[in-house]
Chain A
Amino acid sequence: MTHSELQQFIAFLMERGWTVFAPEKRPDEVVYTKVEDAAKVRLISEPPLHSFKRFLVPPEETLFEYKKDKMAEVKKMEKQVIFGINPVDLKAIVMLNQIFERDPWYQERMRRTLIIGQSLIPENAEQNLFQVKYEEDILEHLQFDIFLEVQRGKYFVYTGSEEGQKILEDFGYKNYEHIAYAGPIKEEGLDPAMVKYRDALRKNYKKEIWEEDVGARCIECGKCTLICPTCFCFDMKDQPDLVGEGGTRKRTWGACFYNDFSEVAGGHKFLKTTAERIHFWYYHKFVRIPDQIQIMGCVGCGRCAKVCPVNINIFKVLAAL
């Protein structure tokens, strides 16, 4: 597929009623924006500051509308295309797909979402901690609808879903190869890095990391949880209408660094100190998620280190485990 064909394809999707989000290079940062002009879409090797996360797991979503004691499920989702996700971030989608496999809203949103991945992966460790490479067998372990392998100004097109195939066919493009998803775990077995960090963190509680270093520096701002493509903890709360007997039940992003995350009736908190909270964050990603679904809960995008106001670097923390 040539670049102009790709732009035509994006224009075709927009004509068909899809809202397309694509990375856009701004003076400071690469950010996801809504595409207004398909001719401006390009593939950017630098990952966007904010990942795709908010399109699949919105910061706030309405789950139910209620009137007195009647609860009615709400599913208001538009057809969306998330364009240009690199394999590092696609791993986060693989994880979220499993975490939310029984979630009616996530699943409905996924049914209305077209994921278009691309092969430009940053080589620097700051944006690719686990040194993910674009290799032969990588695609069969990722979930996407369409994937563009960048080849000297052109793209080789892969499909990962029937939906992806159908849309390409409708557009009139047939020269794609289909990849059957083989699950998140490679044939060779569990990811050795996952096993290493999981076992280290499960076996040892190193006071010098959690209490003397990061626990003493962290200011509990929660930026890492907002920016992380795999942080998905959430709160549920009701928002009554100002007038009348109705309202909505909402789900919003939660953050394990915030004071009320572990607070129970009566005021007791189970995560009292900063050290306990940051340990909880790491434990979730590197032990609990691996125990649950056998893959790491961190894709190594480095966004948390980039936004941390006190320079807590996940790379260094992992090296010290």
Chain B
Amino acid sequence: MKNPYQTESVKITKIEDEGSRSRLFTFAAPRGFKVKSGQFVEVSLPGFGEAPISLCSDPSEKKKFELCVRKAGMVTGALHKMKVGDKVGVRGPYGRPFPVEIGKKRNLLLVAGGLGLEPLRPAIWEIVKNREQFQKVQIFYGACDENDLLFAKNYDEWKKKIDLHITLDKPKGAKTPVACGVGVVTTLFDHVKLYKRPVAFLCGPPVMYRFVIKKLKELNFDDSDIFLSLERRMHCGVGVCNHCAVGSFFVCQDGPVFSWAELKDIKGAI
């Protein structure tokens, strides 16, 4: 029996600042490692423990993968002190990804709040790199301010292929790579005309889900056309420890991506 908790050692090949509070780490991918939008790995730093972190890189890159990490706890704090050439342990990828394939038949609306852009980035790259295979795609992205904008270097390339809208909750008036609106992400629904009958992929904090889902329901989205990624505390990552349980689901295995049809009757899901 293979030990599901055994980690694989991977080398950091690149570290860049991402916004003012996060860092983008590039790792040499183990053989056969596949990135899917919404999936995560357990990052293991012996002495500090493990933390689940979303994959955020281009799925077509087979030799490397990226994790965008904000310093928020023990493991992420230790990771921020590491250097190129250092090794970390990973296990996974785990979880059910966003159903990106739907975008080949239906228009897509990607709504991200704050760090929520990270798990959606593999989907964005997949669409941008295979543009002709997909229907129309819009991105609504809300960040706190200019300093928190993630993946700003990518916007030019994305903009050519995808209808990208960004809004800042508390703008500081600094220069931004693309023109940004002011307000929380839901304000974009008042200014931007949506494509016809899109399927929505959401990733952000629970408060964003409550407001965005309300908007989407006003716009007559089916519950089964809304997909969202849940954040929960995780220890095992393999559906046993129960920290991430939501109703009868385990976010680590049954999620993190769920349809709203699956979650809407579960108290405390968002």
Please list the residues of chain A having a beta carbon within 8 angstroms of any beta carbon in chain B.
63-64, 66, 68-71, 73, 99-100, 102-104, 107, 205, 232-238, 240, 245, 247, 249, 254, 256, 260-266, 268, 270-271, 276, 279-280, 283-284, 287-288, 291-292
Contact = CB atoms under 8 A, between A and B. Distances in A.
Contacts of A232: 240, 242
Interface string B1-18: 101111101000000000
A136 to B, nearest CB: 33
Nearest to A205: B267
A238 B3 CA distance: 18
A236 B248 contact: no
B241 A234 contact: yes
Which of A205, A236, A266 has the most CB atoms of chain B within a 10 A radius of its CB?
Answer: A236
Contact of A261 (B233, B238, B240, B248): B233
A71 B243 contact: no
Which of A64, A68, A69, A235 has the most CB atoms of chain B within a 10 A radius of its CB?
Answer: A69
A71 B72 contact: no
B50 interface: yes
A291 B50 CA distance: 28
Which of B4, B73, B241, B267 has the most CB atoms of chain A within a 10 A radius of its CB?
Answer: B241
Nearest to B46: A66
Contact of B5 (A63, A99, A279, A288): A63
Given A69-B87, A69-B88, A291 B248 contact: yes
Q: Can you list the 8 inter-chain pairs with the closest CB atoms, starting with the nearest? A: A265-B72, A66-B46, A291-B248, A240-B47, A233-B242, A236-B235, A288-B248, A265-B73
Nearest to A249: B46
B231 A264 contact: yes
B161 interface: no
B233 A71 contact: no
B89 interface: yes
B259 interface: no
Contacts of B37: none
Given A73-B6, A99-B240, 9 more contacts: A64-B5, A66-B47, A69-B89, A71-B6, A236-B235, A238-B47, A262-B243, A270-B232, A288-B242
Nearest to B236: A236
Contact of B233 (A237, A247, A263): A263
Which of B76, B205, B242, B245 has the most CB atoms of chain A within a 10 A radius of its CB?
Answer: B242
B76 to A, nearest CB: 7
A256 to B, nearest CB: 7
A71 B241 CA distance: 21
Contacts of B49: 236-238, 249
Nearest to A256: B242
Contacts of B236: 234, 236
Contacts of A261: 233, 243
Nearest to A100: B240
Given A66-B47, A247-B46, A254 B235 contact: yes
Nearest to B71: A265
Interface in B59-105: 70, 72-73, 76, 87-89
A271 B269 CA distance: 10
Contacts of B177: none
B32 interface: no
Given A233-B241, A247-B46, A262 B233 contact: yes
A284 B247 CA distance: 8
